[in-house]
Amino acid sequence: MGATDDEHSGPGPRPEAAACPAPTGDVRAAGDTHDSHAAGDSHAAGDSHAAGDSHAAGDSHAAGDSHAGHGHHHGVSDTADLRFLAGALALIVAFMVGEVVAAVLAGSLALLADAGHMLTDAAALGLSMWALRLASRPAAGSMTFGFKRAEILSALANGVTLLAISVVVTIEAVVRLVHPGKVDGPTVIAVAAVGVVVNAAATFILARADRTSLNIAGAFAHLLTDAWAFLATLVAGIVIVVTSFARADAVASLFTVALMLRAGWGLARAAGRVLLEGAPEGVDLSELRAHLLRLPQVTAVHDLHAWVVTSDLPAVSAHIVVADECFAEGRSPWLLDQLQACLAGHFDVTHSTFQIEPAGHAAHEAAHHE
């Protein structure tokens, strides 16, 4: 589950790192605020997981495990993003129909390639709208995280589509380089100029949405790539009119292909990282482990995992080995709060699950990772 840092960190000198909050006041009093954790505090020499698991023994939402903290993809913001996507989609579809007609009349591969790319733009925007609506549905039944990864699947589909279209256009562009056909330069210039304006407007609209979401980023990549492609087509049309160099159309198509490959690979790689449960970007597991070990009661950390449920929901889980007196003195609830505050404050991770256990408990774990 997720990226893991399985290097065992046992008792002894702790790595140098910025210290997490130290205990203040009467820790037993702090622990007493979690009366429901009394069963967890009696966990002595390695009892059941239920007694030590931080969700069972006090996964405190007050400490920051709150989905409300991931505020963008809820309520008003979702509605705004849907509105931006719908506005961009309307512009793209209206222009795409006219461009297909113009491409056929002008005999321009560059315009036809752009029209094909705009079709994928329209599909990407529609898919993004569907994924956004699906991801906003609450968790229920066996879907314990809801449908949040629908956004990641949408981003992956957008990336793969860009890669597939680039292959098709490359083949045709090579044929046109070898056997150039007649291209109507003035028509290419006129359509490309309008295309630049339309795509710039659609890109501007979607730029106002939350592009930290891979789903929105995928749709935005389609539009931005197409805007640059129209600029290249406009230049090709001017070259054809001025020099009669018909191969400029195919050259512009290859430039479009390069942009599609770059955007498509970036999206596919980012979505793949989430689906393969790699650690969140910018989260160093060694540094994260060091921060957890700075708490005085923590003697070791193992089975440390970090992954991303969706773009705005990173998660961490770990087994935290603590001194026996931590259980005897009722400090487990206080320690749980400190662990979660450490992650939220230093790594911006507010969804965490910790299993707090004594040193001897590892012997009871069949799949223990050192």
Identify the pLDDT of residue 2.
58
Alpha-carbon gap, residue 56 to 313, rounded angstroms = 21
The predicted model gives 168-174 an average pLDDT of 88
Alpha-carbon gap, residue 304 to 301, rounded angstroms = 7
The answer to the question of residue 170 being in a domain is yes
Domain identity same for 271 and 356 = no
Q: Predicted confidence band at 369 (pLDDT cuts at 50, 70, 90)? A: low
The predicted model gives 233-251 an average pLDDT of 90
Mean confidence (pLDDT) of the chain: 75
Identify the pLDDT of residue 134.
79
The predicted model gives 151-175 an average pLDDT of 87
Predicted TM-score of the model (pTM): 0.65
Identify the pLDDT of residue 56.
38
Identify the pLDDT of residue 25.
43
Domain identity same for 173 and 321 = no
Domain identity same for 7 and 137 = no
Q: Predicted confidence band at 242 (pLDDT cuts at 50, 70, 90)? A: very high
Q: Residue 145 is part of a domain; what is its CATH number?
A: 1.20.1510.10
SS3 label, residue 13? coil
Which of 278, 352, 285 has its CA nearest to residue 69?
352
DSSP state of 70: S
The answer to the question of residue 346 being in a domain is yes
pLDDT in tens, 87-113: 999 998 988 888 788 888 877 776 777
| Measured torsion, CA atoms of residues 322, 351, 313, 318, in degrees rounded to the nearest 10 | 20
Q: Residue 341 is part of a domain; what is its CATH number?
A: 3.30.70.1350
SS3 label, residue 44? coil
Q: Over 70: is that where the pLDDT of 179 sits? A: yes
Which of 89, 100, 83, 149 has its CA nearest to residue 124?
89
The answer to the question of residue 86 being in a domain is yes
The predicted model gives 42-51 an average pLDDT of 37
The predicted model gives 332-349 an average pLDDT of 83
pLDDT in tens, 59-85: 433 333 443 344 444 444 678 888 889
Identify the pLDDT of residue 42.
36
Q: Over 90: is that where the pLDDT of 225 sits? A: no
The residue ranking higher by pLDDT, 143 or 161, is 161
pLDDT in tens, 108-120: 776 777 677 678 7
The predicted model gives 329-345 an average pLDDT of 83
DSSP string, 187-234: HHHHHHHHHHHHHHHHHHHHTTS-TTSHHHHHHHHHHHHHHHHHHHHH
Identity of the amino acid at 275? L
Q: Predicted confidence band at 367 (pLDDT cuts at 50, 70, 90)? A: low
The answer to the question of residue 58 being in a domain is yes
pLDDT in tens, 189-223: 888 898 889 888 999 998 888 887 888 888 888 88
Domain identity same for 47 and 166 = no
Give the best-scoring range by mean pLDDT among 40-49, 116-125, 255-264. 255-264
Domain identity same for 139 and 179 = yes
Q: Predicted confidence band at 241 (pLDDT cuts at 50, 70, 90)? A: very high
The predicted model gives 301-319 an average pLDDT of 84
Distance between alpha carbon 114 and the CA centroid of its chain, in Å? 28
Strand order in the sheet with 3-5: 3-5, 298-310, 313-322, 351-357
Domain identity same for 195 and 131 = yes
Domain identity same for 13 and 80 = no
What length is written for the chain? Answer: 370
CB-count exposure of residue 197 (10 Å: 0-12, 13-18, 19+): middle
SS3 label, residue 161? helix
The answer to the question of residue 111 being in a domain is yes
The answer to the question of residue 369 being in a domain is no
Boundary-marking domain end, from 216, 249, 275: 275
The answer to the question of residue 300 being in a domain is yes
The alpha-helical segments, DSSP class H, found in 107-149 are 109-135
Domain identity same for 42 and 133 = no
Domain identity same for 31 and 85 = no
Pairing of strands 298-310, 313-322: antiparallel
Boundary-marking domain end, from 213, 244, 275: 275
The predicted model gives 258-276 an average pLDDT of 88
Q: Predicted confidence band at 239 (pLDDT cuts at 50, 70, 90)? A: very high
Domain identity same for 78 and 216 = yes
Alpha-carbon gap, residue 93 to 74, rounded angstroms = 28
Domain identity same for 82 and 191 = yes
Quick one: tokens of 152? 């990641």
Q: Predicted confidence band at 282 (pLDDT cuts at 50, 70, 90)? A: confident
Quick one: tokens of 121? 């733009």
Range of 343's domain?
Answer: 3-68+279-364
Least trusted range by pLDDT, from 50-54, 158-162, 205-209, 249-253: 50-54
Number of folded domains that form the chain: 2
Q: Over 70: is that where the pLDDT of 172 sits? A: yes
The answer to the question of residue 370 being in a domain is no
Domain identity same for 148 and 283 = no
Least trusted range by pLDDT, from 180-184, 250-254, 362-366: 362-366
Boundary-marking domain end, from 275, 310, 339: 275
